[in-house]
Amino acid sequence: MIISDGKWVKDYYDENELHFYRKRKSIFKKKTKFQEVELLELPAIGEVLIIDEELQSAKMDEHIYHETLVHPAMISNENPKKVLILGGGEGATLREVLKYQSVELAVMVDIDAELVEFFHQNMPHWHLGAFDDPRTVLALIDGKEYLKNTSHLFDVIIIDLTSGFTERMQEEFEPILNLYSKEFYALCKSKLAPDGIVAVQAFELTPLDWSEHAVLYRTLSSAFSRVTSYSTFIPSFYTNWGFLIASDHIENSELSPEEVEHRILERGLTNKLRSFSGQNFLGMKSMPKDLQSNLRRPGTVIEDNKPIKVYPKEDNQ
């Protein structure tokens, strides 16, 4: 939780840990029907985007997060032409997708039309014109409703929703919880092309804090036969952040660093990526033995009629 108080910003990591940042200024603050947003400038880490009192992104390292979310799935697909993004309001996920010349259609679905338009007009240094690309289509509606009604089959679906099961999300905007359920992932699967792949931002992933990631891993595994977990360190988050890619047809973990590099070169991405590489992706998939064991344990699977609100003790121990 982020609390902006006078000259200082307090980042409550949990009930036992607190980080302080000196605040230079508040660039803008806005409340929409769905969320509260503030863009702050902090001398230590630059511009940071706060949504519902949670740090969502920092300009200094957002490329690490967005490249890690987007490129493993995009590189794994042989020829991504149609891509669906659920969430990603500031446009940086869309920016990364549009780096691929093969992409003919990039649909970004976000329920908060007011905020997306605000990002479009006021944060061009984040989206770099992605909203104005002729391949971009914005659908400013609920993600599940879009999937139910679209006739498109997508090569890649990227789910870039809020960074945790926050208290406000649970109490005030419960429909978003159903965008994490096994039924929702099955719906995503039904809208994939035969060799399609899904990528999901999947919360913190460390040997001490892995429960949310594990729940998503199990839930995604209920819909797909091949699920790969990976993570990278995000400096502004002060932790390793987890991601998941899932498919029934692509074995992502078998892509060698050399093959990833070949595809990066072949697709003209060498000078467009600041963080992601073949060796980088290999390292992302490596995790300690105890963490691997925790992810394989049985436990909670999210269902529409049983949305996750409070984790059972066995999911956290």
User: Annotated binding site: which residue ranges?
Assistant: 35, 66, 90, 110, 142-143, 175
Identify whether residues 278 and 161 lie together within a single domain: yes
At 313 the pLDDT is 46
**pTM, 2 dp:** 0.92
**Could you tell me whether strands 82-87 and 154-160 are parallel, antiparallel, or unpaired per DSSP bridges?**
parallel
What distances in angstroms separate CA 313 from CA 203, 211, 316, one per listed residue? 18, 10, 5
Same domain, 177 and 34: no
Helices and strands in the chain: count of H runs, count of E runs: 11, 14
Residue 30 pLDDT class (50, 70, 90 cuts): confident
Total domain count, the chain = 2
Q: How far is the C-alpha of 150 from the C-alpha of 304, rounded, in Å? A: 21
* Three-class HEC string of 225-248: CEEEEEEEEEHHHCEEEEEEEEEC
Condensed to tens digits (0 to 9), the pLDDT of residues 173-204 reads: 555 667 889 999 999 999 999 999 999 999 98
How many CB atoms within 10 Å of residue 130?
A: 24
CATH code, 183:
3.40.50.150
Annotated binding site for S-methyl-5'-thioadenosine: 35, 110, 142-143, 175
Provide the mean pLDDT of the chain.
88
pLDDT at residue 283, rounded to an integer: 94
Res 132 pLDDT > 50: yes
Cβ-Cβ contacts under 8 Å for 17 (sequence gap 6 or more): none
**Over 70: is that where the pLDDT of 311 sits?**
no
Q: Binding-site residues for spermidine, please?
A: 66, 90
Contact 195, 155 (CB under 8 A): yes
Nearest to 157 by CA among 105, 221, 112, 231: 105
Q: Are residues 86 and 18 in the same domain?
A: no
Dist. CA 7–CA 5, nearest whole Å: 6
Q: Which residues are designated catalytic?
A: 160
Q: Which one of 37, 58, 79 terminates a domain?
A: 58
Report DSSP state, residue 306: B
For residue 20, pLDDT over 50 is answered with yes
Task: Provide the CATH number for the domain around residue 46.
Answer: 2.30.140.10
Sign of the CA dihedral with 238 first, then 240, 246, and 252 last: positive
**pLDDT tens per residue across span 244-274:** 999 998 776 688 999 999 999 999 999 999 9
Q: Which domain holds residue 209?
A: 62-315
At which of 33, 58, 83 does a domain end? 58
Which of the two residues, 218 and 56, has the higher pLDDT score?
218
137 & 15 share domain: no
Residue 311's contacts (CB-CB under 8 Å, 6 or more residues apart) are 211, 212, 215, 300
